[in-house]
Chain A
């Protein structure tokens, strides 16, 4: 069942750089700060968008694009932090830039006004699932305290099970956020592997050597 409009595409090859894994939590810091700042703007936009959706029956297109970009960025940052992916993510949430990518609808869809009005209350059951799914996933995947961190440090590869568990936690949280931010009217799907797609990794381009000139 892959019908949820918010889906996670994983094109990761499981290879991990020991150096960046060792310092992963510190390397996350600039992204963490940018995510917080962007998140503040998203909160304001979400409130405005909620009012717009109540009035016109669908979110405003610019707000949708803005929150969708934030959500894509959020996904890459958490994929990096939780060792679900290897490369350092960009800061813009640009589509097609990361091996773990959230596909989010950027065109607003019509949404039921009653469901929009009660959106925060409707989200309460997802909080239970978040605690059940996400916290154990984080305990396993967070650097330093996690098995996955040690496994990646020793073998230079992320065990597939840990990677998929982390990816699922990210996918579900992203669907919850997408629902909360009115990106979609579809309720988050707690079934594992729903809204997930695992694809062959895209070969990375070799970095250019410094010029001698």
Chain B
């Protein structure tokens, strides 16, 4: 085969893979929200007082500053670590993979130390607004302990990446990416069993409502559970979890403390059931898989200058490349997340046919979380994995315009 025909073959393969990628991305991007739905402009001052609005804007502005630090400080720290991290190779008596594990763990340890002031500042801000209840020492000890779990995760990652790199050289990503997708699948499946979910007692009406809504949405039997977080936070939340037999809806105990009406809670449950109906957790894994391959490929190319991922010398650069590429893809991940959240809101409206409850819920969210309902345009790009409160209320109004109520 001549050089030009090899190049042509390479281009054809790349073209076929790129077409498949685009086709899969388009398929995952589709949602049940009508494509021609026009969201009206919503004046939030009609729903919350100007002092509440001002408070939310002030709170969110400072929180965004901490968010920016959380986004960009790791890049700076890991860039420096990519340059000088190899010096810690002298601290290891292990073989290449063991040394790679040590370098990766130390990278995360240094990152933890660098992020600590910012994380403490963020906690202070959240405590100041009554969102967090966790103490400072508790937070430091908690994150230090959580670092142990991160160490385990990064060791497993390094074992997979370096193990395949030693077998397949710079083609490790072809075997590594499917393994990471498999791990994501496993983690999503077992998450409901690891989240400390408890049976929902003293809320039989809500349990009955969940069964009724599950029937309406045609998702079968999905248990509704509660997650006791009242000692740590006042923030409300609920989530759809699990795959197949492990499917659950986990509602935070903070949503059941009387601040939300039964109708609002039913709307939340209908939203979470909507995620299960649309198979959003599967979609999330599919989306992860779409990016896992190109990101792993790019990391393999970038680390070649350090001898490839078979060498521990490449591990600090691997960390930087991984976090850097994840940051680059964050806006598109957030956009994808906002779309599936909007579709779950739409599903909740269709199932409950109670737009007033939806509107009241989103207004309650502004009051209980202090999140800016109309943040600056860059904010959702970097941090918005849900539509803004104003966009969610606008969707309710668009639904009302279409279906009444």
Contact = CB atoms under 8 A, between A and B. Distances in A.
Given A23-B106, A29-B152, A210-B86, A86 B95 contact: no
Contacts of A86: 91
Interface size class on chain A is 20 to 34
Contact of B109 (A19, A90, A205, A206): A19
B92 interface: yes
A99 B152 CA distance: 25
Contact of B148 (A19, A26, A92): A26
B151 interface: yes
B99 interface: yes
Interface in B118-175: 144, 147-148, 151-152, 155
A174 B313 CA distance: 34
Nearest to A100: B93
Q: Most chain-B Cβ atoms within 10 A of its Cβ — which of A19, A27, A76, A204? A: A27
Interface in B294-308: 305-307
Contact of B90 (A33, A97, A207): A207
Interface residues of B, number: 29
A126 interface: no
Contact of A207 (B89, B147, B151, B306): B89
B305 A87 contact: no
Contacts of A208: 86, 89, 313
Contacts of A211: 305-307
A89 B87 contact: no
B105 interface: yes
Interface string A97-135: 111000000000000000000000000000000000000
B306 A20 contact: no
B93 A89 contact: yes
Nearest to B145: A26
Contacts of B144: 26
A90 B98 contact: yes
- Secondary structure type dominating chain B contacts: helix
Interface string A195-213: 0000000001111111101
B93 A90 contact: yes
Contacts of A27: 102, 105, 151
A190 interface: no
A195 to B, nearest CB: 22
A201 to B, nearest CB: 12
Contact of A26 (B89, B93, B101, B105): B105
B114 interface: no
A88 interface: yes
Contacts of A90: 93-95, 98
Contacts of B155: 29-30
- List the 5 shortest-distance A-B pairs measured between CB atoms, nearest first: A207-B89, A87-B93, A90-B94, A88-B102, A88-B92
A23 B101 contact: no
B106 A20 contact: yes
Interface in B278-328: 305-307, 313
B151 to A, nearest CB: 5
Contacts of A187: none
Contact of B93 (A23, A99, A209): A99
13 contacts: A19-B88, A20-B106, A27-B102, A30-B155, A86-B91, A88-B91, A88-B93, A88-B101, A90-B94, A91-B95, A206-B90, A209-B86, A210-B313
Contacts of B147: 23, 26
A90 B313 CA distance: 16
A92 to B, nearest CB: 7
Contacts of B87: 207
B87 to A, nearest CB: 7
B89 A30 contact: no
Contacts of A206: 90
Given A208-B89, A211-B306, 17 more contacts: A19-B106, A19-B109, A19-B110, A20-B91, A29-B151, A30-B105, A30-B155, A87-B94, A88-B93, A89-B93, A90-B93, A90-B95, A91-B97, A91-B98, A205-B90, A209-B86, A210-B313
Nearest to B306: A210
B399 to A, nearest CB: 50
A22 B109 CA distance: 10
Nearest to B96: A90
B110, B147, B151 interface centre (most CB from chain A within 10 Å): B151
Interface in A69-99: 76, 86-92, 97-99
A132 to B, nearest CB: 31
A76 B147 CA distance: 23
Contacts of B94: 87-91, 97
Contacts of B90: 87, 204-207
